[in-house]
Amino acid sequence: MGGMLALPPGQGPHQVGCTDVMVGHTRQGLFLRLFYPCLPRAGATEPLWVPRPEYCGGLADVTLGRRWCSALLGIAIGSCKVPVSWNGPLKPRSSGYPLIIFSHGLGAFRTLYSSICTELASWGFVVAALEHRWVPGSPPEAGTEEWIPFQRVPQGQKEFYFRNKQVHLRAQECVRALRLFQSIAGGRSVPSILPQDWDLSVLKDNLDLSKVAVMGHSFGGVTAVLALVKEPSFRCAVALDAWMFPLEKLLYPEVPSPVLFINTEKFQTPESVAKMKRLSSRNSQTRIVTVLGTVHEDQTDFAFLPGKLFSLIFGRRGTLEPRRALAISSRAALAFLHRHLKLQEQFGQWDELLEGVGDSVAPAAPFGRSRL
């Protein structure tokens, strides 16, 4: 029984394993959830979707604006599991797996995109879903556990300057995550702080770090775009419903690599789409598509909540069936990654999605607005 949320298993040829990785306690540390192709094993356990009850308090605060709903949310979703093998053994691959660094949205955390991360891993990717730890302000004390609250814009500070600083910190964290995997591939020992059975060194001969992409949703979408400016090893970016507001205009000519923007129907503004189009005018390989019948939250795991609970938390939900929406987004991403990471798979079969051709997709972007 998976509580009130039923996340779909990956549809690709690989079973999917999952583990948490934490290195370093301070600002220079990293915390991420790793999704990867794994070997089947008897008695595999599935991880909780919300790893700790404290996250429910944060979710209640951000989504409902009411922290007292935390207990109700905990009852509704606290026992939900992700359909992956916790600490399952990595499936070896001599040519190495391509790597995706994934950045979450504002007020989110590393596990809220488990459905898309699981799907991509099932098609032969290692996906590192970051839990962003950097916030503007002072670093925590080393060795202490600190919960980072949702960062509202301080009184008297302009939203752009606050969020712009934050997006630069997050993009830098994506680059640090890539450095972690480069260290592992180079044979350096990287001790994880968390007690676990999973040894990071198994990745040493199973990653192809010439094939690396960055991906994210909402604030994470614009983080992925900025990460391309900071790190040439990221060959392309996939931006799910990117909130383009925090990116300074000076950077638009500087984005060197192609971006796939996958938008929902109800979130984007003309200003945001104009920024995407400015990027596509600079890079002929950049693509903008819209998934019709979807709202902003449909690109998160929340899409798989029962209708009544979803509506209570977010208001209106999209009309497109969530599994269908996930299939469109993941197939478009796979076709794009196939093209720009030069993969040997059959993902080119979904190329038409990149032109906005197919059921429930459209090129470029219709407009509607929901709050972040």
DSSP-derived 3-state class of residue 133: coil
User: 168 an active-site residue?
Assistant: no
Q: Of the listed 132, 296, 338, 340, which one is catalytic?
A: 296
CA 175, CA 233: separation in Å to the nearest integer?
9
The phi, psi pair for 170, rounded to 5°, reads: -70, -40
Cα dihedral 321/100/46/20 (nearest 10): -140
CA nearest 31: which of 155, 132, 145? 132
Max Cα distance, the chain (Å): 57
CA 208, CA 235: separation in Å to the nearest integer?
13
CA nearest 275: which of 252, 253, 250? 252
- With residue 171 as reference, give the H or E element that holds it: helix 159-185
Cα dihedral 225/227/229/230 (nearest 10): 170
Q: Of the listed 103, 114, 218, 330, which one is catalytic?
A: 218
Tell me the chain's radius of gyration from C-alpha atoms.
19
CA 241, CA 263: separation in Å to the nearest integer?
4
Strands 207-217 and 234-240: parallel
Query: With contact defined as beta carbons under 8 Å apart, do 206 and 229 qualify?
Result: no
DSSP-derived 3-state class of residue 342: coil
Q: Of the listed 20, 61, 241, 298, which one is catalytic?
A: 241
Query: With contact defined as beta carbons under 8 Å apart, do 84 and 46 qualify?
Result: yes
Phi-psi region of 156 (alpha: psi -120 to 50; beta: other; left: phi over 0): left
* Token pair 């789409």 in the structure block, residue: 273
User: 241 an active-site residue?
Assistant: yes
User: 351 an active-site residue?
Assistant: no
Query: With contact defined as beta carbons under 8 Å apart, do 132 and 170 qualify?
Result: yes
Number of H helices and E strands in the chain, helices first, is 8, 10
The length of the chain is: 372
Query: With contact defined as beta carbons under 8 Å apart, do 136 and 157 qualify?
Result: no
303 is written with which tokens? 């899409």
Active site residues: 218, 241, 296
